[in-house]
Amino acid sequence: MDLIDLKARVDRARAEMEAPLAPDEGSRPILPVTEYLREDDTTILWEAVRALREDHPDVFNHYPENTLATNIVYVLGDLAETPTLAKLAGRLAEAAKDEGPWLVSTPLANVSLPSAMLPIDDRAVLQRAYLGREVKDDEYNEVVDAHFEVFRAIDDYLIPPSRWLAAGSLDDNAVDTTRTAALLTIEDGTRALATSRARAKALYALAVWTIASPPGEFAQLPDVGIYGPQPFLQMPQQSKEYDPGEWISKKRPSIGSIRHWSEYEVPSDDLLTLPFEALRVVRDSRSAQALLSASWAAFEAARGSRFLLSERLRHVLVAVETLGEPEPGKKMKWKRWENLSKRYGAHDELRGRGYSEEMIARAEIRLKNARNIATHGADAALIDLGFPEGAERALMYSEPVPSDDLGFAALSADLTILIFGVQHVLNKLLRHQRDAEWDDDEFERQFIPA
């Protein structure tokens, strides 16, 4: 791509930005040069972004594309002569290498820490947020003392988030953000990618923690607190028997009760470091890759409060098939999952709920069929809204499925079986692979019939 036209447009925008005030211009807002680009200028700019994506993908992958577009403008504005696309790519690559490392604080919502700071390794710590609506001296002193502990652990620190917006004031409208902790991690690369990677690490950590140390009976699954507040109240739908034409109905409504779910207690024992041990070797260890991927999918499948049945079906089957892929490019083998679940006693646990081996096998077949419909079928919505009674649903590679096998109650019950089995297996397999130092040969041996 020839950059002469784009360079001229950037120079014109920069000249407008740096122009002195006109005699009748009392003031002017200070804006970046990108704000002086016109609509047709940005069209040419995005052509340059696409050219870098096609011809210099290694450079493109250093930046989110919006950041890349901004940096193109800055680089072109600083150069006296119009560069070639290759020279522009070189400048952008050099700028990317000069960035970082970054210390990133990712807020966590609805978690509880046993202390104000928990060290993980030399690149990660957990710190408690300011929890009080009005921060008292005791809490302030405890958090400040934790700053020193954080600094000793990772050679730097950031102030933790506050749970309450407008904390310290008497404002009755202060907002509970539900941010109760933060994960501090040291990240390499450009700032935008560093923050994205830190968020991903936090989510994978939450997934592994909640599988290795499940929430208590009345505790909820946690989340990152970048968006907030995160939900913690369960408020039921009301219902009553339909009573048409009766203004004063004798049909009593079912109101239910509001449930306040407690925070998830982050493990403080050796399970605290488990996800970060997997993350440390994830680029080289296939077992770490599979276990992190499956843990995240299982974590999402367990979120019955925010996902439809069809979505949860897709997530839980992703967890199974992640474990069932023998190697990249090879077809998933369901037999691998069967061997793994039997090795770790998932079926034995399910017998306590009245499931025989045959029942479990049929449930898994029904779930696979339903997942395929939910993923590829135009009638995927009927997984959540209900298939017509007495109907059959044709499948590409097997016999038609009766609507009874695709009923909401039936699939919900089957889903519970598989989610439990996946969580049970992952709980044990994560520990096993850590003890095996993430050895991939040992991981493969777990799929051999016991």
- Which residue in 190, 194, 163, 160 sits closest to 176, CA to CA? 163
* pLDDT (average), residues 1-26: 93
Task: Give residue 137's pLDDT.
Answer: 85
Residue found under tokens 């807002």: 29
Contact 211, 298 (CB under 8 A): yes
Q: Which of 271, 296, 245, 294 is nearest to 434 (CA)?
A: 271
| 141-167: average pLDDT | 90
Amino acid identity, position 397: Y
The stretch 152-163 carries a mean pLDDT of: 94
Q: Identify whether the C-beta of residue 406 lies closer than 8 Å to the C-beta of residue 422.
A: no
- CA separation for the pair 185, 197 (Å, rounded): 10
pTM of the model: 0.92
Q: According to the model, what pLDDT value does residue 152 have?
A: 95
pLDDT on residue 269: 84
Q: Which residues have a Cβ under 8 Å from the Cβ of 76 and sit 6 or more positions away?
A: 3, 6, 7, 10, 11, 82, 83, 88
Q: How many helices (H) and strands (E) does the chain have?
A: 16, 13
Measured from the Cβ of residue 231, the count of other Cβ atoms closer than 10 Å reads 15
CA distance 62 to 44: 21
- The mean pLDDT value for 66-88 works out to 96
CA-CA distance, 304 to 383, in Å (whole number)? 15
Contacts of 93 (CB under 8 A, 6+ apart): 58, 59, 62
Q: At 219, list the tokens.
A: 């505790």
Between the two ends of the chain, the Cα-to-Cα distance in Å is 60
Tell which residue, 381, 303, 290, 378, has the closest CA to residue 337.
290
Question: Facing residues of 111 across strands?
Answer: 264
What was the pLDDT predicted at 170?
58
Please report, rounded to a whole number, the percentage of residues in the chain having pLDDT higher than 70.
Answer: 99
Question: In whole angstroms, how far apart are CA 436 and each of 228, 278, 431, 445?
Answer: 39, 12, 9, 12
Q: What is the mean pLDDT of residues 75-97?
A: 96
List for the chain the helix, strand, coil content (%; round to 5).
Answer: 50, 10, 40
User: Contact 127/179 with Cβ under 8 angstroms?
Assistant: no
Strands of 71-187 (E only): list them.
Answer: 102-109, 111-112, 117-121, 124-128, 164-165, 175-176, 179-187
- Per-residue pLDDT tens over the stretch 14-56: 999 999 998 888 888 999 999 999 999 999 999 999 999 999 9
Helices within 3-136 (DSSP H only): 4-18, 39-55, 57-60, 65-78, 85-98
- Give the Cα-Cα-Cα angle 262, 265, 267 (nearest 5 degrees): 165
